[in-house]
Structure 1
Amino acid sequence: MAKITAGVATSHVPAIGAAIDLGKTEDDYWQPVFKGYEFAKSWIQDEKPDVIILVFNDHASAFSQDIIPTFVIGCAEEFQPADEGWGPRKVPVVKNHTKLASHLAQSVIQSDFDITIVNKMDVDHGLTVPLSLMFGQPEEWPCKVIPIAVNVVQYPPPSGSRCFALGKAIREAVDCFDEDLNVQIWGTGGMSHQLQGPRAGLINKEFDIEFLNDIVTDPETLAKKPHIDYVRYAGSEGIELVMWMVMRGALDQDVNQLQRFYHVPASNTAVGHLVLENKK
């Protein structure tokens, strides 16, 4: 049977992708950021996941004000890197595990989640930067990737509680999939940051550290945090952290924290990263 063995959480700062693409990872500014992912890059080579369920948000690359789905699952065979205004990143095409993706869609919809099935979607830095951080610059990604997009750009976003419940529904779906697969789930986005207005550049280290503590040890309570608290204390883009709750909801209550990393700043935000493993 398929099994979710681990979860990864990471920021998906677009400037990180640019640093990788332009060969600046060893620059004085960027070297501390990439050093924080050395453990995870080594760890994932040993883990060899068959499938990654990757939770991210689109940044007006695939969706616009015309259509704003709250939750999306990609069910196409593959997804091309998006052109975000300066040409697509030169990264591999994302190849889907369509059978598992279709199973997830059916299962979560019948668990009362009205998730939108999408068969055409270019994927932007929200998805490709985490893959680059974990896998480097391969000719092709070493595993299948199922994209799940969450709207945290246009008001109203889903609550942390709803995202946590979606993670639980995904876990139930994976547990009853009749193929032997090593599955990981990744939550991306955050941490505290704001891109516009009087608070542009806001970083709240105290909030971020508390969030990192709670998502590991007390996710049930953290899931109840209202979205306005994310905006108030973590900035308008800090709401991206609810996507980490999808990842956490798909894991066991008690997990092993294999890696934790926090760094300020990378571009105009804080970078957070966790590797969590279900206890064997």
Structure 2
Amino acid sequence: MSDIVGGIFTSHVPGIGLAIARGQQQDPYWKPFFDGFAPIHRWLAQTRPDVAVVFYNDHGLNFFLDQMPTFAIGAAADYQHEDEGWGLSGFKPFTGAPDLSWHIIETVVEQEFDPVTCQSMLLDHAVAVPFELCWPDTDAWPVKVVPISLNTVQHPLPSPRRALELGRAVGRAIESWTGPERVVVMGTGGLSHQLDGERAGHINVDYDKFCLRNLAPDPEAMLQHDTLDIVELAGSQGVEILNWLAARGAMRGSVRELASNYHVPISNTAAATVLLENSAMVRA
């Protein structure tokens, strides 16, 4: 049976990818953020997951305002990264896990979710940047990927509870998968930030730290704010916390925080990284 060994939660700011390309990881502006990945690198070397199930939001590469699915799940054998306008290039291709993808799709549909199924899909910085952060200096990604896209762009957005329940449905699907894969779930994006309008540059440290405090022990506490509350608290792009909630929902076992890092700002964004361990899963 498959196991979800843990979860990695991180910002996916395009500027991070540019900093990597320029070798700026040790620059004073970037170092506090990149230093937060040292414990993640050690953990990944020890646990050696086979598959990453990534909850993220597409930035117009696959879906635009005229066609925006609430949830979409990739079921391709391979995926390519393409730059959606930030000047990011050179990311390695991704290998899919189509059998596991189809099992997840079929299982969540049985649980009354209705994802769009994507048998071809491009992956943008929301997946590529976290992969580069987690597995730097590799010739090929050491994990296969199942990408799950949530709409955090075009209203109406899914509610925080719906995002958490989607993650729980995905977690049940992974637990019922008969393959031997060790799975790490990833939630990417955020934390608080707004890129446009009168509140451009908005960061809410108190709300961010509230999320970081509750992510492992009590994700239900984060449901006290509805989607519009989160927009007000965290900024219009701060709703990417929905990706974190979905990934946290997939971790249905005994969850323990192993590492956490918070740094303000990176490209007008409150950047954060969290590593959670998942054990003693309930298979039901």
- TM-score range for the pair, normalised by the shorter chain length: over 0.9
SS of residue in 1 equivalent to 2:277: strand
> What aligned pairs does 1:101-112 form with structure 2 within 5 A after superposition?
101-112=101-112
In the alignment, structure 2 segments of 5+ residues that lack a partner are none
| Structure 1 residue 198 displacement after superposition | 1.1
Q: What is residue 183 of structure 2 aligned with on the other side?
A: 183
Say if 1:157 and 1:180 are closer, same or farther in 2 by CA, change over 3 A: same
| Structure 1 residue 87 displacement after superposition | 5.3
Q: Distance in 2 between matches of 1:66 and 1:231?
A: 21
Identical-pair percentage: 40
In the alignment, structure 1 segments of 5+ residues that lack a partner are none
| Structure 1 residue 253 displacement after superposition | 5.8
Q: Distance in 2 between matches of 1:24 and 1:13?
A: 15
Q: What is residue 114 of structure 2 aligned with on the other side?
A: 114
Q: What is residue 42 of structure 2 aligned with on the other side?
A: 42
Q: What is residue 249 of structure 1 aligned with on the other side?
A: 249
> What aligned pairs does 1:132-147 form with structure 2 within 5 A after superposition?
132-147=132-147
Alignment RMSD (CA, Å): 1.3
Q: Distance in 2 between matches of 1:203 and 1:12?
A: 16
Q: What is residue 19 of structure 2 aligned with on the other side?
A: 19
| Structure 1 residue 54 displacement after superposition | 0.5
Q: Give the 4+ runs in structure 1 shifted more than 4 A.
A: none
* CA shift digits 1:109-166 (9 cap, x unpaired): 1110001101122111011111011111321100101100111011111111001101
| Structure 1 residue 88 displacement after superposition | 5.2
Q: What is residue 57 of structure 1 aligned with on the other side?
A: 57
CA contact (8 A) 1:215 1:248 kept: yes
* CA shift digits 1:3-54 (9 cap, x unpaired): 1111111111110011001211122211111111111112111111011100
CA contact (8 A) 2:61 2:84 kept: yes
Q: Distance in 2 between matches of 1:86 and 1:270?
A: 19
SS of residue in 1 equivalent to 2:215: helix
TM-score by length of 1: 0.97
Aligned pair count reads 280
CA contact (8 A) 1:223 1:245 kept: no
CA contact (8 A) 1:4 1:182 kept: yes
- What one-letter code is carried by the residue in structure 2 that aligns with 1:205? V
CA contact (8 A) 1:83 1:89 kept: yes
- What one-letter code is carried by the residue in structure 1 that aligns with 2:277? E
